[in-house]
Structure 1
């Protein structure tokens, strides 16, 4: 059985989430666990059995703590509580998430809910690409959608689910959301280039589309990390699939210009194989 600790409650976010200060070391933290906030009052000192605490977030930098406390004081505590429950769920499914997600995702969802209340719905121009690039993150984001409806009776559209998935991906990679947006925008530009070259719009519901997106993502990642691959069919591809290879070279050039990296000829060859399937 775990020990009990004394806490001063800073704010009760919901029955399962509290922001509190542990008195023995004056550490401020988020405590998440079933019923951990039930009956608790802000400013009061209380004893909490650690058996009830499923997750504790406490290793915050001072700047992070100040940002989070500003968010707590400015936003509906119920929204913050649900987001914290969701981050716990996402962490279990996806692995360790960067601490900054507590600010970035909470702020985004809070703002999204305010927009919905005002009747303002923002279209997500990258939705299909997000579903293909960040499949696992999108699946978890759908669970967040269900949790928001269950706890707050708020139904967010799938466009917002896509944005949440991008935040989850950023949290997994420990990078700012702007880089995830930039990568997703690049992918969309690549797909538009390929569609223009092959002369028709790709069916986003086909497995071939998903495979193409997955391969593009892997190509960019390998090129960024300078991981070499060998394409034993490269010479044949250049001759027999010369039109697909020409398109693949255009794609490689776009990647190189946007990311300031080098895409190897072997990578171009493999990409040409995927493009050839679209041409036949």
Structure 2
């Protein structure tokens, strides 16, 4: 197979396996990750590297990102940096292009997570069931990531942390901040809790009613954020025949409006009502 070779001028050696360099062909600054690429080199050295020698490279879009990456390099173990880049490369292979900031956010999270695990600190993930349902591809990749971490660093990653890693992959895939993804996931969990409280039921994560409800709430929120709405041709009938379920749907709607500051139509509430009514029938409430 043909191996392309390019010239890079070293701006800074971050460690033996990571350098900040200038691509002399494309006239752009980037970070290069590859086994031994920084070993024995210093600033202004010219390197000729083939794509076989480069495990990963990403463009440093702004000064803030560069500074954050430098801080990680100085703070984290080289093995943690290397495995994080391996996981990101694996994620991009399966999920497609990821926001470059994942090189900061996920790497930092994995380093901090490993420290907590070594100290015996358990971290609860209250959104684990929702994460598995909402982001199945990202969760599957994160399970594989946990196996690589275990094999490379000899650290067992608990399921709660696998869920958090999945949040990072999803955020980078959607070009969102992790905080936005957490807010979105947390909202869906609260909506489920409203339905549980109003109907006096406790959903099992494998319950078909729970799976349908989580999926529907996701689509409702997606539509609201995109400014779309589904017309409900039987809305008046729903309001008349399922009054109590419609009242519960209104409480769900208020929670959505308060969290997202977006209005929700009666048409959308009607569809939520149908799900609530179906749960009533299935549970014989």
TM-score, with length taken from structure 2: 0.88
Q: In the TM superposition, what is the alpha-carbon distance from 1:242 to its structure 2 partner?
A: 2.1
Distance 1:39 1:234, change over 3 A: closer
Match runs of 1:180-199 below 5 Å: 180-199=181-200
CA–CA distance in 1 between the matches of 2:81 and 2:204? 38
CA–CA distance in 2 between the matches of 1:13 and 1:123? 36
Q: Does 1:19 align with 2:13?
A: no
* Greater CA drift, 195-204 or 130-139: 130-139
Unaligned runs of 5+ in 2: none
Unaligned runs of 5+ in 1: none
Paired residues in the alignment total 274
Q: Equivalent residue of 2:57, what SS?
A: strand
TM-score, with length taken from structure 1: 0.90
Q: In the TM superposition, what is the alpha-carbon distance from 1:142 to its structure 2 partner?
A: 1.0
Q: Equivalent residue of 2:49, what SS?
A: strand
**Contact 2:249–2:273 (CA under 8 A) maintained in structure 1:** yes
Q: Equivalent residue of 2:19, what SS?
A: strand
Q: Equivalent residue of 2:88, what SS?
A: helix
Q: In the TM superposition, what is the alpha-carbon distance from 1:56 to its structure 2 partner?
A: 2.0
Deviations 1:182-220 (A, max 9, x none): 222211111111001111101111233122111101101
CA–CA distance in 1 between the matches of 2:224 and 2:167? 21
Determine the structure 1 residue equivalent to 2:89.
88
Determine the structure 1 residue equivalent to 2:269.
268
Determine the structure 2 residue equivalent to 1:162.
163
CA–CA distance in 2 between the matches of 1:106 and 1:42? 25
CA–CA distance in 1 between the matches of 2:130 and 2:24? 48
CA–CA distance in 2 between the matches of 1:251 and 1:173? 25
* Greater CA drift, 91-100 or 252-261: 91-100
Determine the structure 2 residue equivalent to 1:130.
131
Determine the structure 2 residue equivalent to 1:47.
48
Deviations 1:219-259 (A, max 9, x none): 01111221021111212211222222221111001111111
Distance 1:248 1:11, change over 3 A: same
Distance 1:238 1:76, change over 3 A: same
Distance 1:52 1:207, change over 3 A: farther
CA–CA distance in 1 between the matches of 2:184 and 2:56? 32
**Contact 2:13–2:19 (CA under 8 A) maintained in structure 1:** yes
Q: In the TM superposition, what is the alpha-carbon distance from 1:27 to its structure 2 partner?
A: 5.3
CA–CA distance in 2 between the matches of 1:230 and 1:273? 14
